[in-house]
Amino acid sequence: MVANPARRSQLAQAAVAILGSEGPRALTHRAVDRKAELPPGTCANYFPSKAELLLAMTQRVFELLAPDPDRLDQLADLPAAEAPARYAEYVTERLLEHPYVAAALIELRLEATRSDDVRAVLEPVLHQGFATDVAFHRARGLPGGREQVLWLHHLVNGAVLDAITIPVHPGSKVGEVVARAASKLTA
């Protein structure tokens, strides 16, 4: 493994951008080199296998989607009954802030249904993320439990998919719609 973390991150970022904006067929080592504006062969040197590149991309997607600690502090001050809706709204906002990142995550999930290698990389990350969300929900004392967190995941994922593809209601404010639905799901 080549040990330049900044270069690895640059390549992973370029790969996420390609996957999210151009799709899986466009994702090649050479395309990543071009997008990252690095010499040919750099991506293959850092990530010799597709599985290694996909793992780096998965890690980069979740780095890009990481919550802002200050915003979490603000949300922590909300009454427990209101908090799930605002957390769901915030997650939706983060996903839609850079639509190519959300699209890349969806592409990775789709590819995981066709490739055991991708599934082996992505599945544990998604399962751990869900478990972390459930633990956060419980630690915060939010209404409901594991089932409500699952509902909120499905709500946010569906709303984001709709928003970044062909929205059924293009004029709607997706975050607000998610917040209203989340309020009803956790009431």
Q: Which region holds residue 144: left if phi is over 0, alpha if psi is between -120 and 50, else beta?
A: left
pTM: 0.90
Residues 29 and 10 grouped into a single domain: yes
Q: Which parts of the chain fold into alpha helices (H)? A: 5-22, 29-35, 42-46, 50-64, 69-76, 83-97, 99-114, 116-140, 146-164, 174-185
Residues 92 and 33 grouped into a single domain: no
Residues 42 and 88 grouped into a single domain: no
pLDDT of residue 2: 58
Which residue range(s) make up the domain with 133?
66-185
Quick one: CA torsion of 57, 164, 157, 13, rounded to 10 degrees?
10
Residues 28 and 83 grouped into a single domain: no
Residues 47 and 71 grouped into a single domain: no
Residues 135 and 167 grouped into a single domain: yes
pLDDT of residue 86: 95
d(CA 99, CA 112): 20
> How many structural domains is the chain composed of?
2
pLDDT tens digits, one per residue of 47-102: 999 889 988 999 999 999 999 999 999 998 999 889 999 999 999 999 999 999 99
pLDDT tens digits, one per residue of 109-138: 999 999 898 899 899 999 999 999 999 999
User: Packing angle between helix 174-185 and helix 146-164, nearest 10 degrees?
Assistant: 160
Residues 27 and 115 grouped into a single domain: no
d(CA 170, CA 187): 27
d(CA 45, CA 54): 14
Residues 25 and 87 grouped into a single domain: no
Residues 170 and 90 grouped into a single domain: yes
pLDDT of residue 121: 86
Tokens found for residue 106: 């969806």
Q: Are 78 and 142 in contact (CB under 8 A)?
A: no
Tokens found for residue 185: 């799901």
- Mention every residue, 6+ apart, whose C-beta is less than 8 A from residue 164: 96, 99, 102, 103, 106
d(CA 39, CA 11): 11
pLDDT of residue 115: 87
- Whichever domain contains 15, its CATH number is 1.10.10.60
